[in-house]
Amino acid sequence: MKSIFDPVSIGSITAKNRLIRSATAESYAEGGRRLSGVKTRLYEDLAKGGIGVIITGMFGVDRNSGASPTMPKTGDDVFVPAMREIVDLVHSYDCKLVVQLVHSGAKGFPAEVGGQPVGPSDDTLVPDRPARAMTKAEIADLVESFARAAAKCKEAGADGVQIHGAHGYLISQFLSPHCNKRSDEYGGDIANRGRIVLELLEAMRRETGGDYPIWIKINGKDLVENSITMEECIWLCRELESRGLEAIELSAGLGFGRSTSPSKLIESVDDEGSFAPEALTMAEAVSIPVISVGGFKTPDVMDKWLNKGKIEAIALCRPLISEPKLAKRWQDGDREKARCISCNKCYRLKDGLKCHSFSE
Ligand SMILES: Cc1cc2nc3c(=O)[nH]c(=O)nc-3n(C[C@H](O)[C@H](O)[C@H](O)COP(=O)(O)O)c2cc1C
């Protein structure tokens, strides 16, 4: 029988339990400065709170990659020293840290004055801000940006990196036929739509020496018509596995509104594990660890999903915004479900990350 509190190996990262903090953007407001102070405390609280692995909020891989012009980026001057400080702190609590890397693509706000968002195709994902299709030269630059970003994370001592390939950001835009209308070798069937991810992984491995842990968060379905299919997602993940990917976090949704949100309303235990059936299917199809994310609140429900098949770990986001010390509470014997009511008010990031429904 598996339990959320078993020690586990996620690829070459060993963790003290199967509970992972899923990537959670902390704030868009203050850019790189946010890496010290408040952010350090946030990570210390999570690490103290008993979680096995923390995946950071998303970090942009180049100056035009942000979901806002001020989103933290791996190219910020403070990134390596400030991340090293966070990593050392997190390690002191026997917790591991994986940095999530993103390009926001057509959802983005390029830092360059007058910069236009780019995506796989000419498309508008942000009202009044039409995006244009990336050139092949820009795709090649993007691949190198991810590679450099991964190298910076390694330099900072992070245990690994996660490619944000979900939720309608650039990589997910390439993977989704809903967004990708290209007719060159980066559009069409999944071998073409997924080409960019295979190139990223190869470049990131080259730049980090070949054995640095690289994970992906990916949609099994986009929650729109003309979605990536589970068969396509499995095909791509098998290709990534054969090229050295170490873990898959299975999510869903292009994140364009409530119906496509990856963060669902959870009203009963039956709603928990929003995308766990897809994670279970993926775990049968690959040999690397699969992490299920979305809507988990109750320890017994998590244990149940772990024991239905080969899911290796459970990731949590909103419950840990409300209760950063949740894992410790459960481990100490109080197994009452997370208090999070999935109101999603925590998405209001302008004033920093916090639970708007409960205060300490
Ligand atoms: C405030 C907030 C910020 C988020 N930031 C990210 C992010 O940076 N990267 C990411 O992959 N997902 C992000 N997500 C999505 C979560 O990681 C997770 O996939 C989703 O909320 C479902 O998990 P949950 O039910 O445990 O919250 C965010 C969600 C919230 C509520």
**CA atoms within 13 A of residue 109's CA, in its CB half-sphere:** 12
Which pLDDT belongs to residue 69?
72
The Å distance, Cα 137 to ligand 1 centre, comes to: 31
The Å distance, Cα 251 to ligand 1 centre, comes to: 10
Tokens for 302? 């998590």
- Tell me the mean pLDDT in the region 133-149: 97
Catalytic residue among 28, 43, 93, 169: 169
Bridge partners of residue 248, in order along the sequence: 216, 290
Q: At residue 113, does pLDDT exceed 70?
A: no
The 8 Å CB, 24+ separation contacts for 182-185 are 182/120, 182/121, 182/133, 184/136
The Å distance, Cα 344 to ligand 1 centre, comes to: 10
CA nearest ligand 1 atom 20, residue: 263
Spatial CA neighbour of 358 closest among 315, 314, 316, 326: 326
Tokens for 341? 């009511």
Tokens for 200? 């990223």
The Å distance, Cα 58 to ligand 1 centre, comes to: 10
Q: List, for residues 184-202, the tens digit of each pLDDT value.
A: 999 999 999 999 999 999 9
Tokens for 256? 């364009």
The minimum-distance atom of ligand 1 relative to the CA of 320 is 26
Ligand 1 within 6 A of CB of 22: yes
Which pLDDT belongs to residue 221?
98
Q: At residue 55, does pLDDT exceed 90?
A: yes
- DSSP β-ladder status, 160-165 and 247-252: unpaired
Average pLDDT, the chain: 94
The minimum-distance atom of ligand 1 relative to the CA of 58 is 8
Tokens for 240? 């990534």
Q: At residue 123, does pLDDT exceed 90?
A: no
Ligand 1 within 6 A of CB of 250: no
Q: List, for residues 275-299, the tens digit of each pLDDT value.
A: 999 999 999 999 999 999 999 999 9
Ligand 1 within 6 A of CB of 294: yes
**Least confident among 24-28, 52-56, 226-230, 271-275:** 24-28
Ligand 1 within 6 A of CB of 347: yes
- Tell me the mean pLDDT in the region 73-96: 93
Coil/strand/helix, residue 220:
strand
Distance of CA 66 to the CA centre of its chain: 15
Which pLDDT belongs to residue 33?
54
CA nearest ligand 1 atom 29, residue: 24
Q: 349 vs 69, which has greater pLDDT? A: 349
DSSP letters for 232-269 = HHHHHHHHHHHTT--EEEEEE---SSGGG-SS----SG
Question: What does the alpha-carbon distance between residue 277 and residue 69 come to, in Å, rounded to a whole number?
Answer: 36
pTM: 0.97
Coil/strand/helix, residue 56:
strand
Q: Which of 219, 263, 322, 357 to mutate to test the pocket of ligand 1 (most atoms within 8 A of CB)?
A: 263
The Å distance, Cα 318 to ligand 1 centre, comes to: 7
- Tell me the mean pLDDT in the region 113-141: 89
Ligand 1 within 6 A of CB of 251: yes
Ligand 1 within 6 A of CB of 154: no
Q: At residue 86, does pLDDT exceed 70?
A: yes
Concerning whether 169 is annotated as a catalytic residue, the answer is: yes
Which pLDDT belongs to residue 335?
97
The Å distance, Cα 100 to ligand 1 centre, comes to: 12
**Least confident among 29-43, 109-123, 212-226, 227-241:** 29-43
Ligand 1 within 6 A of CB of 164: yes
Question: What does the alpha-carbon distance between residue 273 and residue 201 come to, in Å, rounded to a whole number?
Answer: 28
Cβ of 275: how many Cβ atoms within 10 Å? 23
